[in-house]
Structure 1
Amino acid sequence: MSDLDPRPDEALCTPAPGPGPVTEFFPAREVPLGGVRGVYVERVLPQRDLPTVGAWCFLDHFGAPTVTRTEAPSNIDPHPHIGLQTVTWPFVGRIRHRDSVGSDVEIEPGQLNLMTSGRGIAHSEYHATDAPASEGLQLWIALPAHSTGVAPHFEQHRDLPVHEAPGVRAIVLIGTLAGRTSPAKAYTPIVGADIRIEPGAEVTLPVDPSFEHAVLVVEGEVTVAEAPVKPGPLLYLGSGRTELRLSSATGAHLALIGGEPFEEELVMWWNFVGRGHEDIVAARAAWENRDTARFPDIAGHPPEQRIPAPPMPPLNLKPRKRRIGDAARD
């Protein structure tokens, strides 16, 4: 999954310190990928008032039961990225990932797939026709300025650490949770985990108080820090917590994301994360001009099989600042 909106907004994401513990909901919005292609996802990040959670800057739930169903194939042709890492975490189905550094792998449930774009990478995602329709999460992590020029690379991790305690099982996708550390390469202090709560369970997870955190419920209902949460919206929890209290009468499946508040300004547009308007313009020109030094062709795809970049908007950048309501503070 990627941002294939033909008229994406351009936004300057300004840094903000952690707000302390809060409980504030941000609604999911249904977003079509590729316009007329008719593929839809539920997107909960970025939000106008919450552009990032730590370095996490993008979160889509693809194949969600509540999104519009069409007959359109959910395949995504070659497209570019800069300045970010993509995290692909399927729950159901299989996805074939190919990219411009030579990767050609199938992504299956339980496997973490992490692509680091650095200065530039291109990739495609095709869903297996002999498997159930895919469902899962795709997320982006903004690279800090000192890492935006790293060589693009791809990682697949089939054996991830698991924190297990009575009533809870948490797979650590990236970073560290409850003393378990993922082998996935991170460039900022960050955490991401897939968590399942058993019916009737009441559990406590230790978390880093210097991090801000957010939770997305995928299935079931769960109470997080005294807030009841259903599938759909993102629950932003702020920073300053040493633990998260979770309980569920029915059982639940959720994702936890977090990290140190990101202290750099970001310009996010289409599939690019940069530091200024010029970064975006240069990356778009390189893609449209078929600059294979920056975005090499992907083996198995003819050069003409690619998603064109949308036109740049004739607007100046506008700051997108956080506006976390004081009324939501614990």
Structure 2
Amino acid sequence: MSDTHERPVEIITARDVPLGGPRAMTVHRTLPQRRRSLIGAWCFLDHYGPDPVAATGGMDVAPHPHTGLQTVSWLFDGEIRHDDSHGVHELVRPGELNLMTAGAGICHSEVSTETTDTLHGVQLWTVLPEDARHGPRRFDHYAPTPVTFDGGSALVFLGTLLGSASPVPTFTPLVGAELRLAPGAVLDLDVDPCFEHGVLVDTGDVTVDGVAVARTELAYTGTGAESVTVANPGDTPARVILIGGEPFGEDVVMWWNFIGRDDAEIRRYREEWNAHGDRFGETHGYVPHHPDGPFRLPAPELPGTRLRPRSNPGPVARAGADPYRPAHPEGQE
């Protein structure tokens, strides 16, 4: 095992929020938060389940807009129906990447299927850089082949890791993978030292560079390291999501489901969405779980103060990070 005990590891604690409204399922959100808004271009991370659909109603997110970002959907269990204004109608299944590029604007809906008993997975966003954020809509689907290593396996859905390369293009250098570790397994991952990384714990007892990370927590390791050690010292299998990328250097204003660069852009996006503007198009095929629910999510009221770019500290892990304390409205579908 690598000698990593002296490396700082920053623990980002999740907060619970409703997905899509007060009647929706609860998710654990680790990005964005007050102390750290981005890891590479990864700007949003929701973790949910195992969610018993019969008891909670599952996922039912009516058509809603996005600008300047990509949505990354990854399931461990269950099935979700995706419909968007690019004309894509796709099922999200475990172990299969569904990546939607909003470009200048898109809208979509997400609904767990009738055959889904348990819903369990993650939803992530990546921010698009200036030269791509006004581009066209796009959708990519990819089912990675498992890569095995001593004591576990990996599904690399974005970027390159463990000798496996995803063919899905990204607009900034990124990596994303699901890692499974058997009891007692230790994985020394060779990583790009120019990348900062985060490890989200889904199940099991996990340490990252020797630091214990609880379920739903995200361990941040910063840049400069050529390896990250993920271990499972427990007696049950463990599963984590690894994300990483080169630090994102552009200013970002993120509010509700919009990403822009200044207050005026966000206010314009909100106005266009509520006015059914052409920027976002129309989503067809959405069938809600509740017939009396909204068939389109209206943008909420903006704050009276000017929206400012999110601050993000340098790509250096700070041990002992405080739990999340809300400071401003976060992105929320």
TM-score range, shorter-chain basis? 0.7 to 0.9
Distance 2:189 2:312 in 1: 26
Q: Deviations over 1:209-251 (max 9, x none)?
A: 0000011110001121011122121111111110112221333
Structure 1 position 150 matched with structure 2 position 135: yes
- Is 1:55 aligned to 2:46, yes or no? no
1: CA distance, partners of 2:135 / 2:308: 28
Match of 2:198 among 203, 206, 214: 214
Within 2, Cα distance between the matches of 1:254 and 1:216? 5
What's the secondary structure of 1:22's corresponding residue? coil
One of 261, 269, 283 as aligned partner of 1:298: 283
Report the counterpart of residue 264 of structure 2 in structure 1.
Answer: 278
- Report what 1:127 is aligned to: 112
> Aligned pair 1:109/2:109, yes or no?
no
1:1-330 to structure 2, matched below 5 A, reads 22-64=8-50, 71-158=56-143, 160-249=144-233, 250=235, 251-291=237-277, 293-301=278-286, 305-323=295-313, 328=319
CA offset at residue 72 of structure 1?
4.1
Give the deviation of 1:173 after TM superposition. Answer: 1.1
In 2: Cα distance, 1:132 partner to 1:84 partner: 30
CA-atom RMSD in angstroms: 2.3
| Distance in 1 separating the partners of 2:58 and 2:317 | 43
Cα drift, residue 277 of structure 1: 1.0
Paired with 1:96 and 1:300, the residues of 2 have a C-alpha distance of 10
1:85–1:142 contact (8 Å) kept in structure 2: yes
SS at match of 1:280: helix
Q: Distance in 2 between matches of 1:39 and 1:127?
A: 11
Flag the 1:35–1:75 CA change in 2: closer, same or farther, 3 A: closer
Q: Which amino acid is the alignment partner of residue 182 of structure 1? A: S
SS at match of 2:131: helix
Give the % identical residues.
43
Q: Give the TM-score normalised by structure 1.
A: 0.87
CA–CA distance in structure 2, aligned partners of residues 141 and 286 of structure 1: 22
**Which one-letter code corresponds to 1:315 in the other structure?**
T
Measure the CA separation in 1 of the matches of 2:46 and 2:38.
13
1:182-216: CA deviations, max 9, x gaps? 11120001111100011111221100000000111
Q: Is the alpha carbon distance of 1:52 and 1:64 closer, same or farther for their aligned partners in structure 2, counting shifts above 3 Å?
A: farther
Q: Which runs of 4+ in 1 moved over 3 A?
A: 69-73, 322-327
Please, what TM-score do these two structures have when normalized by structure 2? 0.86
What displacement does 1:323 show? 4.7
The 1:126–1:327 alpha-carbon spacing in structure 2 relative to 1, beyond 3 Å, is closer
Report if the CA contact (8 A) 2:253-2:261 is conserved: yes
Q: 1:318 deviation in Å?
A: 4.1
Per the alignment, in what secondary structure is the counterpart of residue 8 of structure 2?
Answer: strand
Cα distance in 1 for partners of 2:100, 2:111 equals 16
Q: What SS does the corresponding residue of 2:9 show, helix, strand or coil?
A: strand
> Mind listing any 5+ residue stretches in structure 1 that lack a counterpart?
1-20
- Are the aligned partners of 1:161 and 1:182 in contact in 2 as well (CA < 8 Å)? no
Which amino acid in 2 is paired with 1:257?
A: I
Please give the alpha-carbon distance, in whole angstroms, between the structure 2 residues aligned to 1:73 and 1:195. Answer: 25
**CA contact 1:101–1:121 (8 Å) conserved in 2:** yes
> One-letter code of the match for 2:319?
A
**What secondary structure does 2:222 align onto?**
strand
Conservation of the 8 A alpha-carbon contact between 2:83 and 2:286: no
Residue in structure 2 matched with residue 3 of structure 1 by the alignment: none
Q: Which secondary structure does the structure 2 equivalent of 1:141 belong to? A: strand
CA distance in 2, matches of 1:194, 1:46: 20
How many residue pairs align between the two structures? 306
One-letter identity of the residue aligned with 1:298: T
